[in-house]
Structure 1
């Protein structure tokens, strides 16, 4: 699915949170949104998945304006894994994942064998198949996040939005979830805090700073020691990892005085 965002702006009480955001995601791309806290990442995503309504600009999915789609049509095309993992009611894990099938069903339609099979497969893919009858509210934060990813898988949408999907997950499941998304072959957009994870898994990065797109491109095109100082306020060295051949970032505290080139190489 192709996704286009043009001139997107949103603010509260006259104070802009995001302003004039433009980008395009090509079908099958995994694009990461990075930036410090308060840069507008979550607000941008909430405008795209329709929790918030843009005050200016537009969004389109495969050339069709998002504002013209019903919420059911949107859910058939777009799945969301957000940071919020609480529920007003106490559902089982199976029930939560089964909700991913609702956009494809008529109201009050019975669950089919296909629905049940998709729920089982989705839970298995995130390592939660033995939790199907557990109460969702009894799970840890990381377990809840894995269940919500299973729900998104059961939804079978061609566009996946994730807001910090690795929050609360230990390293093993962070790698498993990111690798799973990478291998789905669908269009994915994710806000990420872990810059090394973003550089490893994402095809392209969008750097948000003060509510605007500061830079965009491949990790190699975007990431530099100068950008990390300007946007994130940290000193870092960047190098291609000898095993993964991916860009790798090493951070240094301010107390360690290093001389780095703008690209992140040490200067003797």
Structure 2
């Protein structure tokens, strides 16, 4: 049975899209079938990161009732990884109904081993609809106390809404001496720390090249961290469903 995992954060710019792309490709490398979904309807970037920037049908068209979700699934250049892209123009944003995101994305359940959903930041309507499309949540934060506390609040809300919070990623750690230590971040977040992704020039280079770092420089520290994340996610995702079963 496929798993639906929302990638969420309290603030923008934490690395949700980078995490979604790299986690999806890393899981694909491990032999899992994966569908990455760009559910950030106003700031769509996942499509560009994953090399599909000219899609005829997007998640916006599906939410507007123009097309089916099947027509919005594209193969990517990465093994075992498909993508449901989003549009990057405001005209599509105006016609898409974000309230339809959960019912739309959940149609992918069972067709893939993992559906990884790139969500907007915060707790606004668009973000909540995107996050509630998943059954489990992966939180992404940076090592700044304001970012950590905002992401913690998102986790609390999603737990109360019935989603399983798998844990969090401490992204871009080590950039400054003021960074919150991982053990302190975990204490504040009150959910498991799954992996620390270090500040790594290779990740920025990969972004500029339009190729996620696990493919661009697989031996880099950043890539190794995302592969470690994929390994942990593959072992813990779906735990709640298995226990209930």
TM-score range, shorter chain: 0.3 to 0.5
Indicate the structure with greater strand content: 1
TM-score by length of 2: 0.38
Indicate the structure with greater helix content: 2
